[in-house]
Structure 1
Amino acid sequence: MSLDNEILAFIQKELSAKDLTLDSALNIGKQATVPEDVWDLLEKIADVYSIDFTHIEWHKYFPQVGIPFLPNFILPRSLKTDYSTPERLTIKMIVEAARVGRWNYDH
Protein backbone atom coordinates (compact mmCIF):
# COMPACT_ATOMS: atom_id res chain seq x y z
CA MET A 1 0.00 0.00 0.00
CA SER A 2 1.38 3.43 -0.91
CA LEU A 3 1.94 6.07 1.74
CA ASP A 4 -0.89 8.14 0.20
CA ASN A 5 -3.40 5.32 0.59
CA GLU A 6 -2.09 4.30 4.01
CA ILE A 7 -2.52 7.80 5.46
CA LEU A 8 -5.86 8.29 3.71
CA ALA A 9 -7.13 5.02 5.23
CA PHE A 10 -5.79 6.08 8.66
CA ILE A 11 -7.62 9.42 8.47
CA GLN A 12 -10.82 7.84 7.17
CA LYS A 13 -10.80 5.42 10.09
CA GLU A 14 -9.96 8.07 12.72
CA LEU A 15 -12.66 10.45 11.51
CA SER A 16 -15.17 7.73 10.60
CA ALA A 17 -15.46 9.29 7.15
CA LYS A 18 -15.03 6.82 4.29
CA ASP A 19 -15.89 9.46 1.66
CA LEU A 20 -12.67 11.43 2.20
CA THR A 21 -10.13 11.61 -0.63
CA LEU A 22 -6.59 12.96 -0.82
CA ASP A 23 -7.98 16.26 -2.07
CA SER A 24 -10.51 16.58 0.76
CA ALA A 25 -10.08 19.64 2.96
CA LEU A 26 -10.49 18.86 6.65
CA ASN A 27 -11.28 22.44 7.64
CA ILE A 28 -13.69 23.75 5.00
CA GLY A 29 -16.41 22.43 2.72
CA LYS A 30 -18.72 19.50 3.18
CA GLN A 31 -16.06 17.38 4.92
CA ALA A 32 -15.08 20.06 7.42
CA THR A 33 -14.13 18.73 10.82
CA VAL A 34 -14.06 20.66 14.09
CA PRO A 35 -10.61 22.04 14.99
CA GLU A 36 -10.31 19.87 18.11
CA ASP A 37 -10.77 16.68 16.09
CA VAL A 38 -8.24 17.78 13.47
CA TRP A 39 -5.76 18.66 16.23
CA ASP A 40 -6.23 15.20 17.81
CA LEU A 41 -5.84 13.59 14.39
CA LEU A 42 -2.59 15.47 13.69
CA GLU A 43 -1.21 14.42 17.09
CA LYS A 44 -1.94 10.76 16.30
CA ILE A 45 -0.48 11.02 12.80
CA ALA A 46 2.61 12.75 14.20
CA ASP A 47 3.17 9.83 16.56
CA VAL A 48 2.59 7.11 13.96
CA TYR A 49 4.47 8.72 11.05
CA SER A 50 7.06 10.81 12.95
CA ILE A 51 5.90 14.17 11.59
CA ASP A 52 6.92 17.45 13.21
CA PHE A 53 3.90 19.78 13.17
CA THR A 54 5.46 22.45 15.41
CA HIS A 55 5.55 25.02 12.58
CA ILE A 56 1.92 24.72 11.52
CA GLU A 57 0.21 28.10 11.69
CA TRP A 58 -3.11 26.87 13.05
CA HIS A 59 -4.90 30.20 12.60
CA LYS A 60 -4.41 30.02 8.81
CA TYR A 61 -6.57 26.91 8.67
CA PHE A 62 -8.86 27.59 11.62
CA PRO A 63 -9.31 31.35 12.14
CA GLN A 64 -10.33 32.29 15.66
CA VAL A 65 -14.02 32.41 16.43
CA GLY A 66 -14.72 34.91 19.18
CA ILE A 67 -17.92 35.46 21.08
CA PRO A 68 -20.59 35.42 18.35
CA PHE A 69 -23.16 37.61 20.09
CA LEU A 70 -20.70 40.41 20.94
CA PRO A 71 -19.22 42.82 18.38
CA ASN A 72 -15.45 42.73 17.91
CA PHE A 73 -14.95 46.39 18.84
CA ILE A 74 -15.80 45.76 22.51
CA LEU A 75 -13.73 42.58 22.85
CA PRO A 76 -10.05 42.29 23.73
CA ARG A 77 -7.89 41.15 20.83
CA SER A 78 -7.64 37.60 22.18
CA LEU A 79 -11.43 37.17 21.95
CA LYS A 80 -12.12 38.85 18.61
CA THR A 81 -13.44 36.86 15.68
CA ASP A 82 -11.05 36.56 12.75
CA TYR A 83 -13.17 36.90 9.61
CA SER A 84 -10.39 35.95 7.18
CA THR A 85 -10.98 33.07 4.79
CA PRO A 86 -9.22 29.91 5.98
CA GLU A 87 -6.70 28.19 3.74
CA ARG A 88 -7.44 24.60 2.77
CA LEU A 89 -5.91 21.90 4.97
CA THR A 90 -5.97 18.80 2.78
CA ILE A 91 -5.10 15.19 3.35
CA LYS A 92 -2.58 15.49 0.51
CA MET A 93 -0.74 18.15 2.57
CA ILE A 94 -0.54 15.73 5.50
CA VAL A 95 0.83 13.01 3.20
CA GLU A 96 3.51 15.40 1.94
CA ALA A 97 4.42 16.25 5.54
CA ALA A 98 4.80 12.53 6.23
CA ARG A 99 7.16 12.19 3.26
CA VAL A 100 9.52 14.89 4.54
CA GLY A 101 8.92 14.40 8.28
CA ARG A 102 7.68 17.93 9.00
CA TRP A 103 5.00 20.46 8.13
CA ASN A 104 6.32 22.34 5.11
CA TYR A 105 3.56 24.81 4.27
CA ASP A 106 3.86 27.70 6.72
CA HIS A 107 7.51 28.73 6.59
Structure 2
Amino acid sequence: MVTEQEVLDFFRDELSVPLTWTMKMVPLELDTMLQDYAVGDEFFYAIEDYAEKFDVDVSSIDMRYYYPWENLSRWERWTKYQKADVEKTRKPLTVRMFAESAKAGRWLYD
Protein backbone atom coordinates (compact mmCIF):
# COMPACT_ATOMS: atom_id res chain seq x y z
CA MET A 1 0.00 0.00 0.00
CA VAL A 2 1.22 3.48 -0.88
CA THR A 3 1.89 5.83 2.03
CA GLU A 4 1.60 9.60 2.21
CA GLN A 5 5.32 9.77 2.94
CA GLU A 6 6.17 7.88 -0.28
CA VAL A 7 4.15 10.33 -2.35
CA LEU A 8 5.60 13.31 -0.49
CA ASP A 9 9.13 12.01 -1.03
CA PHE A 10 8.33 11.45 -4.70
CA PHE A 11 7.23 15.06 -5.22
CA ARG A 12 10.17 16.35 -3.19
CA ASP A 13 12.48 14.51 -5.59
CA GLU A 14 10.61 15.58 -8.72
CA LEU A 15 10.10 19.30 -8.05
CA SER A 16 12.66 22.04 -7.70
CA VAL A 17 12.77 23.66 -4.29
CA PRO A 18 11.79 27.36 -4.41
CA LEU A 19 13.70 29.91 -2.35
CA THR A 20 12.45 32.88 -0.38
CA TRP A 21 13.91 36.32 -1.04
CA THR A 22 16.27 35.63 1.88
CA MET A 23 17.47 32.49 0.06
CA LYS A 24 15.84 30.04 2.47
CA MET A 25 14.51 26.83 0.95
CA VAL A 26 10.72 26.43 1.08
CA PRO A 27 9.90 22.90 2.25
CA LEU A 28 7.25 20.87 0.48
CA GLU A 29 4.64 19.50 2.89
CA LEU A 30 1.50 17.41 2.44
CA ASP A 31 -0.81 20.44 2.41
CA THR A 32 1.36 22.80 0.37
CA MET A 33 -0.55 24.23 -2.60
CA LEU A 34 1.36 22.82 -5.54
CA GLN A 35 0.22 25.60 -7.87
CA ASP A 36 2.20 28.06 -5.76
CA TYR A 37 5.13 25.73 -5.14
CA ALA A 38 5.97 24.15 -8.48
CA VAL A 39 7.50 26.02 -11.38
CA GLY A 40 5.96 26.07 -14.87
CA ASP A 41 5.85 22.84 -16.84
CA GLU A 42 7.89 20.98 -14.25
CA PHE A 43 4.74 20.18 -12.28
CA PHE A 44 2.95 18.67 -15.27
CA TYR A 45 5.89 16.36 -15.98
CA ALA A 46 5.88 15.37 -12.30
CA ILE A 47 2.18 14.45 -12.58
CA GLU A 48 2.97 12.21 -15.55
CA ASP A 49 5.76 10.52 -13.60
CA TYR A 50 3.45 10.17 -10.57
CA ALA A 51 0.82 8.45 -12.72
CA GLU A 52 3.37 5.98 -13.99
CA LYS A 53 5.05 5.29 -10.64
CA PHE A 54 1.86 4.89 -8.59
CA ASP A 55 -0.34 3.53 -11.41
CA VAL A 56 -2.98 6.24 -11.09
CA ASP A 57 -5.08 7.39 -14.05
CA VAL A 58 -4.68 11.18 -13.98
CA SER A 59 -6.65 11.84 -17.16
CA SER A 60 -9.66 12.88 -15.08
CA ILE A 61 -7.82 15.74 -13.36
CA ASP A 62 -9.54 18.92 -14.52
CA MET A 63 -6.80 21.55 -14.34
CA ARG A 64 -9.32 24.35 -14.90
CA TYR A 65 -10.23 24.06 -11.22
CA TYR A 66 -6.63 24.47 -10.11
CA TYR A 67 -5.37 26.97 -12.71
CA PRO A 68 -8.40 29.12 -13.58
CA TRP A 69 -6.36 32.08 -14.82
CA GLU A 70 -4.61 29.92 -17.41
CA ASN A 71 -7.94 28.94 -18.96
CA LEU A 72 -8.95 32.44 -19.96
CA SER A 73 -8.28 33.66 -23.46
CA ARG A 74 -5.75 36.44 -23.93
CA TRP A 75 -8.63 38.78 -24.71
CA GLU A 76 -10.39 37.93 -21.45
CA ARG A 77 -7.18 38.39 -19.50
CA TRP A 78 -6.51 41.72 -21.12
CA THR A 79 -9.97 43.24 -21.07
CA LYS A 80 -12.32 42.23 -18.35
CA TYR A 81 -10.84 40.00 -15.73
CA GLN A 82 -8.57 40.73 -12.83
CA LYS A 83 -6.24 37.87 -11.99
CA ALA A 84 -6.87 38.23 -8.27
CA ASP A 85 -10.62 37.82 -8.79
CA VAL A 86 -10.20 34.72 -10.95
CA GLU A 87 -7.64 33.19 -8.59
CA LYS A 88 -10.19 33.37 -5.75
CA THR A 89 -12.05 30.54 -7.48
CA ARG A 90 -8.95 28.31 -7.54
CA LYS A 91 -9.18 25.02 -5.68
CA PRO A 92 -6.15 23.82 -3.72
CA LEU A 93 -4.07 21.05 -5.28
CA THR A 94 -1.91 19.36 -2.65
CA VAL A 95 0.41 16.41 -2.22
CA ARG A 96 -2.15 14.94 0.19
CA MET A 97 -4.66 14.77 -2.68
CA PHE A 98 -2.16 12.84 -4.77
CA ALA A 99 -1.36 10.53 -1.84
CA GLU A 100 -5.02 9.72 -1.21
CA SER A 101 -5.53 9.07 -4.92
CA ALA A 102 -2.47 6.80 -5.04
CA LYS A 103 -3.91 4.77 -2.16
CA ALA A 104 -7.22 4.43 -4.03
CA GLY A 105 -5.60 3.78 -7.42
CA ARG A 106 -7.56 6.56 -9.12
CA TRP A 107 -7.96 10.32 -8.99
CA LEU A 108 -10.48 11.08 -6.23
CA TYR A 109 -11.09 14.79 -6.69
CA ASP A 110 -12.93 17.21 -9.02
TM-score, normalising length: structure 1: 0.74
Give 5+ residue unaligned stretches, structure 1: 74-80
The one of the two structures with greater contact order (alpha-carbon pairs below 8 A, sep at least 6) is 2
Check conservation: 2:69, 2:87, Cα contact below 8 A: no
CA distance in 2, matches of 1:35, 1:50: 24
Check conservation: 1:51, 1:102, Cα contact below 8 A: yes
Are 2:56 and 1:48 equivalent residues in the alignment? no
2:101 alignment partner in structure 1: 97
Check conservation: 1:12, 1:20, Cα contact below 8 A: yes
- CA change 1:62–1:35 in 2 (3 A) is farther
CA shift, 1:104, in A, is 1.0
CA shift, 1:3, in A, is 1.4
Percent of pairs identical after alignment? 29
CA shift, 1:71, in A, is 1.5
- CA change 1:34–1:67 in 2 (3 A) is farther
Alignment of 1:12-27 (within 5 A): 12-17=12-17, 19-27=27-35
Pick which of 33-42 and 44-53 moved more. 33-42
C-alpha deviations, 1:10-55, integer Å up to 9, x for none? 1011113371011111013xxx324522211110000000001111
CA distance in 2, matches of 1:10, 1:3: 11
C-alpha RMSD of matched pairs (Å) = 2.5
- What SS does structure 2 have at the residue aligned with 1:98? helix
2:23 alignment partner in structure 1: none
2:74 alignment partner in structure 1: 67
TM-score, normalising length: structure 2: 0.72
The one-letter code sitting in structure 1 at the alignment partner of 2:10 is F
- What SS does structure 2 have at the residue aligned with 1:22? coil
